[in-house]
Structure 1
Amino acid sequence: MSRVLIRVLWLMLISGLSLQGCTPPKPVRLGAPIEGYSHTSAAINRFSVNRGGGPNISPYSGGGKQNCCASLPVKWHPGLTVVVEWEKDPDPYASANWPPLGTDGYRAAYKLHAAKYTRHRAVVPVARYEELGLVNVHFLPCNQVAVSAGATYPGRPDYPFHFPQKMQEPATCPES
């Protein structure tokens, strides 16, 4: 082979190898939308999953509202957990008896009411998933939380949790 041909082949090989570095790697983690469900009489004023914010949730409701995003691995693995932080209003309908909105009386009532909000943090296992999808956070009695992150959703037979929408708080909760 001629020297010119060898140089051309050598340059093509080097160029091809250097271009391989330009191909983006497959993602190890992705941002997944967050949705929540309150199975109790408390409202969830705000919550987050791995610092990604979820929507506020009325008592005994949820679903239908999504926020972005919780960073999770594309592939589930044993021991996968997320950090869920939330603020809970144990008496979400108290404002029905307050003075009119915008008055000093209203502001005073709100201040007293907001002092009763509770804040919580839990490290929660994530239910096994085959394909990363919507992150569903279920708020249960006794400040328990369950999290799924698959391509299925509540109400489907393949969904990992089947909690009733309305769950009552027990008179006493077990110590955690």
Structure 2
Amino acid sequence: MSRTLNPGTPRRRPALWAATALACLALQACSQSLPDRLGAPIEGYSHTSAAINYFMVNGNGGPNIGPYGGGGKQNCCVSLPRKWHPGLTVVVEWEKDPTPHAYGKWPERPFSDAWNKRMQEHESKNTRHRAVVEVAPYEELGVIDVHFLPCNQVAVSAVAVTPGNAGYPFNYPSRMEEPSVCPTL
């Protein structure tokens, strides 16, 4: 007895079904794997009377920060591991202006030759720093927060929690004074 297929009934092709099933499994496996590293935005906080004219984390720039200010302004990005591990460090480089409001009190007309000369003198007192900083432990990677502290100290977190909330690793006051003598490390 011969069997005829209805013209609207598709023929089954085992090889085609097997190939399709394997392709779906392969795609599903790819979509479930996550990268080991992710890009995280950078923001900073100055806890001192100095301005941070610029800073970088692993060579990637963060925003400038006024005295006793920061947060809310982010630049992109630094690659960090999805999962924190002991010994995780970043390199932070920055330029600090110890008297950021001085030029607002100068008698010279802004951008005149005399003003530009004084600005060059002012900028010559800016200091540049570099530190290898341990990243505070995190469960979930978030924004990279760089805290600039007295005595050119730096603290870095990358948690998915904003400062001031439970689970944030640091509790620095927004205003910290430079001691008369900084400790030597």
TM-score of the alignment, normalized to the shorter chain, above 0.5: yes
Q: Aligned pair 1:115/2:115, yes or no?
A: no
Secondary structure of the equivalent of 2:30? coil
CA distance in 2, matches of 1:100, 1:70: 41
1:26 Cα deviation (Å)? 1.7
Task: Output the aligned Cα RMSD.
Answer: 2.4
Q: For 1:1-176, list aligned pairs within 5 A.
A: 8=15, 12=19, 16=23, 23=30, 25-98=33-106, 99-176=108-185
Q: Distance in 1 between matches of 2:34 and 2:166?
A: 31
Instruction: Give the letter aligned to residue 30 of structure 2.
Output: T
Counterpart residue identity of residue 50, structure 2 = A
- Runs of 4 or more, structure 1, over 2 Å off, are 22-25
Q: Deviations along 1:88-140, whole A, 9 cap, x unmatched?
A: 00110110222121200111011001111100000101111111011111000
Deviation at 1:16, TM superposition (A): 4.2
* CA offsets 1:20-60 (integer angstroms, 9 cap, x no match): 6x936521111111111000010000001111111100011
Q: Percent same amino acid among aligned pairs? A: 61
Tell me how far apart the structure 1 counterparts of residues 151 and 63 of structure 2 sit (CA, whole Å). Answer: 21
**Number of residue pairs matched by the alignment:** 172
Deviations 1:58-103 (A, max 9, x none): 0111111111111111111111111100000011011022212120
Query: Structure 2: how far apart are the matches of 1:16 and 1:160?
Result: 45
| Cα drift, residue 153 of structure 1 | 1.1
SS in 2 for 1:134: strand
The residue identity in structure 1 corresponding to 2:143 is L
Output the TM-score relative to the length of structure 1. Answer: 0.88
One-letter code aligned to 1:101: P
Structure 1 or 2, whichever has the larger Rg, is 2
Structure 1 alignment gaps of length 5 or more: 1-6
What is the match of residue 3 of structure 1? none
User: Structure 2, unaligned stretches of length 5 or more?
Assistant: 1-13
